[in-house]
Each structure stands twice: as structure tokens, then as C-alpha cells.
Amino acid sequence: MNRQAGQGTDESVALRIEVAGRPLGYVRRRLRVLPHGLDEVLAAGQPVLPPAGRDGWLLRSLPRARLAVLSDQAKGWLVAVRQEYPRHHIPMAGQGFDDWWLGFSSKTRSALSRKARRLADRLDGGFTVQSYRTSDEIAEFMAIAGLLSGRTYQARLMQAGLPTDQAGVAHAITAAALGNIRAFLLFAGGRPIAYLYLPVERDVLIYSHLGYDPDFADLSPGTVLHVEAMRALYDEGRFRAFDFTEGDGAHKAQFGRASVPCADVLILRPTLRNRAALAMMRGVDAMAARAATVLDRTGLRARAKALIRR
């Protein structure tokens, strides 16, 4: 049975041209953006495209199993898979923290416990974790974590820091009043060194923002905080799942317990302007892939990522 995809929004989209997550420029097009939430990703059936935007569609996190049917629907258009990745998530219904914790290998559990002990031992007075959920608490969280967010590489290089502008804070406070925000801060000696910010949609936790003070990067504060946050979230007994959303990563793969192969798909009208833009994006992607292969062969990829994040 076919299922109608969400209608999405018709908006001006800046399509990033990037290498190793660092933007080199943008191509702006008017697209109907169709994001796929976790429930849509897990549902059966095939998508039916709504009317296109002026230049086409952008489908985020489309299950790869539906790509062939989608390509048939878009015959005559320019179809490009911009990135492919496993959509990681944690099924939480009917489970507790111990169920999730035992999903790690004994070696990984030992390593995670060592990280927490090392963090406590290295910091004068150890560390504490504070949770935030009410409107007043979230207002406090945004004020504290917002300052920390500005120092993270996510904010500096990827423009992906916490939404601490007036509109972003107001939205967070309103969502908190409805019970739809969970947030956590890790403190060392009274100083915040890591934060985790999780909107809630239909009892699914959304992995929105995780960041940490770069001065403490060698102590893995974000990892330690996430483990402690999972303990508190399971204790609530409310949530159906934890959704790591779009994109892959070592942290998502390690903490997740299930995944669905997905892709971000760009569908453009076959104009000369769009053909040129797509050729440029594909050229940069190919160049980046060749560079990544060389770095992998020489064992320098991790060092290159560290330099980019400075």
C-alpha cells in the first residue's frame, strides 16, 4: 500500500557544498522539503510525492528501500542521492537502562566506565549532571549551555550550535511547558563542560544537540554525559525511542541499538541551471571522496579531522 509522504514545506534551501563537514559554499534552490521522522522511516509502504517546489524536492532520511519506487515517480527529473547513512535509533518501550547498557560489549562497558572514572579523577571535586525539563529550567539551561555552545566546533565550523537567539529560546521554553524538552548539563567544579539537548516528538527523543568544552575533549565529557542522561531518561518510563536523526557517526553507531539504511535525495527540474549546479556538487563530492581515500591509506584521516575542528 502506498502512503502519502508528508506535505513538507516549500522553502528556499541552501544546499551545502562541503568537504569533511566544512562548507565551501552554497547553491540555493526553492524546494519542497520532506523530512522523514523515525515513525515514517519505520513504517511500511512507499512514498507518494506531493507537488514539487519551484525547483523540485529535497527528501531527508528516505529509507533506501523506497528509492527505486521514488525514482520511477520522478522520471524525467534530475535525481541525486546526496548522502547515504544508517538512521540509528534506540527502541526504549518496555525496556530499562540495564537493557540498553547490556547492549554494549563487556569491553565497551568497561571502556565507558573508565571514561567516567577518569573524568571524575582528573577534575577537582569530580563531576555532577543536572537535568532540565520545565520552562524555567530550560530558560536557565539555554542561558548556560548557549555560552558553552559558542565554543564548540559544531557552532564554529558547522553553524550547528544551540538555537540561542530570541526565537530559539522562546520555542524551547514553549516546548518545555508542554513537556517536550529534555536537557542535561555536565558540570566540573561548577563549570559547565558538556550539554545535551533533546526535543520530544510523540514520546520520541530527538538527538538535537550534543556539545562539549574543547578544553576537556580528551576526557570525553559528551560521552559520559550521554550515558548518565540515558539512565535518567529510562527512569521516566515515558519514551518509545531515542532517534539519532539524519547522518552517521561513531557515537550514534555505538549508542544506537537499531538502524535503517537511509539517504538524503535531491530531485531537481531538468533545467540547464540545475544540471550545472548538480554537476558542480558531484564534482566536489568526488574530489572529497578521493581525498578521503588517500587519507585512509596513509592513516592521516583522524589527524586531518582534528585539524579541521580546531
- Classify residue 191: in a domain, yes or no: yes
Q: Which residue has the higher pLDDT, 284 or 309?
A: 284
- 91-95 mean pLDDT: 96
- Classify residue 252: in a domain, yes or no: no
Both 104 and 209 in one domain: the answer is yes
What's the pLDDT band for 68 if we cut at 50, 70, 90? confident
Structural domain total, the chain? 2
Length, in residues, of the chain: 310
| Percentage of the chain modeled with pLDDT above 70 | 86
Least confident of 2-6, 109-113, 168-172: 2-6
CATH of the domain at 187: 3.40.630.30
pLDDT for position 40:
94
Both 69 and 101 in one domain: the answer is no
Burial of 301 (0-12, 13-18, 19+ CB in 10 A): middle
Q: Which residue has the higher pLDDT, 9 or 245?
A: 245
- 40-51 mean pLDDT: 85
Domain's final residue, options 207, 239, 271:
239
- Classify residue 27: in a domain, yes or no: yes
- Classify residue 254: in a domain, yes or no: no
Cell numbers found for residue 304? 586531518
d(CA 136, CA 153): 28
**Cβ contact 77:56 at 8 Å:** yes
Domain's final residue, options 239, 272, 290:
239
- 67-71 mean pLDDT: 87
- Which domain range does residue 299 map to? 2-84+260-309
In the predicted structure, residue 209 carries a pLDDT above the cut 80: yes
- Classify residue 178: in a domain, yes or no: yes
Least confident of 4-18, 69-83, 129-143: 4-18
Both 63 and 43 in one domain: the answer is yes
d(CA 229, CA 231): 5
The reported pTM is 0.86
Cell numbers found for residue 308? 579541521
pLDDT for position 303:
61
In the predicted structure, residue 55 carries a pLDDT above the cut 80: yes
Condensed to tens digits (0 to 9), the pLDDT of residues 240-285 reads: 999 999 989 999 999 999 999 999 999 999 999 999 999 988 887 7
- 294-310 mean pLDDT: 60
- 195-206 mean pLDDT: 97
Cell numbers found for residue 86? 544508517
- Classify residue 244: in a domain, yes or no: no
Mean pLDDT of the chain: 87
pLDDT for position 193:
94
- Classify residue 142: in a domain, yes or no: yes
Both 60 and 124 in one domain: the answer is no
Rg (CA), the chain: 21
Both 98 and 232 in one domain: the answer is yes
Both 103 and 204 in one domain: the answer is yes
pLDDT for position 238:
96
Both 209 and 125 in one domain: the answer is yes
Both 114 and 65 in one domain: the answer is no
In the predicted structure, residue 1 carries a pLDDT above the cut 50: no
- Classify residue 245: in a domain, yes or no: no
d(CA 143, CA 192): 11
Both 76 and 98 in one domain: the answer is no
Condensed to tens digits (0 to 9), the pLDDT of residues 104-163 reads: 999 999 999 999 999 998 877 789 999 999 999 999 999 999 889 877 656 555 555 788
pLDDT for position 139:
96
What's the pLDDT band for 57 if we cut at 50, 70, 90? very high
In the predicted structure, residue 239 carries a pLDDT above the cut 70: yes
Least confident of 27-41, 74-88, 277-291: 277-291
In the predicted structure, residue 173 carries a pLDDT above the cut 50: yes
In the predicted structure, residue 289 carries a pLDDT above the cut 90: no
Both 128 and 69 in one domain: the answer is no
Domain's final residue, options 239, 268, 293:
239
**Cβ contact 256:90 at 8 Å:** yes
**Cβ contact 17:23 at 8 Å:** yes
Cell numbers found for residue 62? 528516505
pLDDT for position 3:
36
Cell numbers found for residue 50? 506531493
Both 181 and 101 in one domain: the answer is yes
Both 100 and 235 in one domain: the answer is yes
